[in-house]
Structure 1
Amino acid sequence: MQFLNGITLLLVYQLVGEITVRLMNVPIPGPVLGMVMLFLTLMIRGRAPASVDQASSALLSHLSLLFVPAGVGMMAHFGRIADEWLPITLSLLLSTIVTMVATAFIMQLTSRWFAGAEPDGEQSDD
């Protein structure tokens, strides 16, 4: 019964996010807004209810099944992918490089931010 309560709560947050997006004409997907609302609720509460914990664990254990539709879509459009392999490959490579550079830059900034000053008040030379 806890799983059913947890999945219902997750779907209610998704529904509230979808309704909010449609009513307020926000350029964010409804499920994403619902997930942000759920995150804020859990942060305020300080913990996740057992029902949400059980439902989310069950969903995460079957996460690989969510890739099946993407694989089917690729096979259904294999001809188009074969025709446009060069722009697809270039965009994948470029986006991977941009993501890696952005991640490294953000990691350096956050490392410096969290490191702050040395305990004795002196800055490190790195």
Structure 2
Amino acid sequence: MKYLRQFSIILLISLIGEVLHNLIPLPVPASIYGLAILFTALAGGILSLDKVKETGYFLIEVMPLMFIPAAVGLLGAYHVLMPILLPYAVITLLSTLLVMFVAGRVTQFMTEEDVQNE
């Protein structure tokens, strides 16, 4: 029952993100609104981490499975992707490396700042 309650909370926040996406005329995906709402609720103490922690861990564990349908969809579009495969691969590689670098630097900055505050 605990997992159902936690999943319901996450779904409710996602629903609020969908509503905001339809109400606010900005090119921001509904999932980003949902993440911002969840982050604000957790950081502001409106929602305690214990209310969503186990289900959040579960969703992170099954996240790789969510990419399988997208990969299969790419296989169906093979004839469209073949002429642009090299530029697509280079852009994907460079953007992945850039994201890894920036995420690593931000993590280092945050952990160093966290150590200094202790």
| Aligned residue pairs, count | 108
- 1:65-80 matches, cutoff 5 A: 65-80=65-80
Deviation at 1:28, TM superposition (A): 0.3
For structure 1, which runs of at least 5 residues remain unmatched after alignment? Answer: 116-126
Q: Indicate the residue corresponding to 1:20 in structure 2.
A: 20
* Structure richer in helix, relative to its length: 2
Deviation at 1:91, TM superposition (A): 3.8
Deviation at 1:101, TM superposition (A): 5.8
Deviation at 1:19, TM superposition (A): 0.6
Deviation at 1:55, TM superposition (A): 0.8
CA contact (8 A) 1:2 1:50 kept: no
Deviation at 1:100, TM superposition (A): 4.1
Deviation at 1:13, TM superposition (A): 0.9
Mapped to 1, the partners of 2:50 and 2:28 lie a distance apart of 29
Q: Indicate the residue corresponding to 1:88 in structure 2.
A: 85
Q: Give me the TM-score of the superposition, normalised by structure 2.
A: 0.72
Report the AA paired with residue 90 of structure 1: P
For structure 2, which runs of at least 5 residues remain unmatched after alignment? Answer: 114-118
CA contact (8 A) 2:41 2:47 kept: no
Mapped to 2, the partners of 1:58 and 1:71 lie a distance apart of 22
Deviation at 1:88, TM superposition (A): 3.3
Deviation at 1:92, TM superposition (A): 3.3
CA-to-aligned-CA distance 1:13-65 (integer Å, 9 cap, x gap): 11111111211212100111111110011011187432411111111121221
Mapped to 2, the partners of 1:61 and 1:94 lie a distance apart of 27
CA contact (8 A) 1:3 1:55 kept: yes
Which secondary structure state, in structure 2, belongs to the residue aligned with residue 27 of structure 1?
Answer: coil
Worse overlay, 95-104 or 58-67: 95-104
Q: Give me the TM-score of the superposition, normalised by structure 1.
A: 0.68
Q: Considering only CA atoms, is the larger Rg found in Structure 1 or Structure 2?
A: 1
How much identity, in percent, do the aligned residues show?
21
RMSD, aligned CA: 2.9
Runs of 4+ that moved beyond 3 A: 46-49, 94-104
Deviation at 1:70, TM superposition (A): 1.4
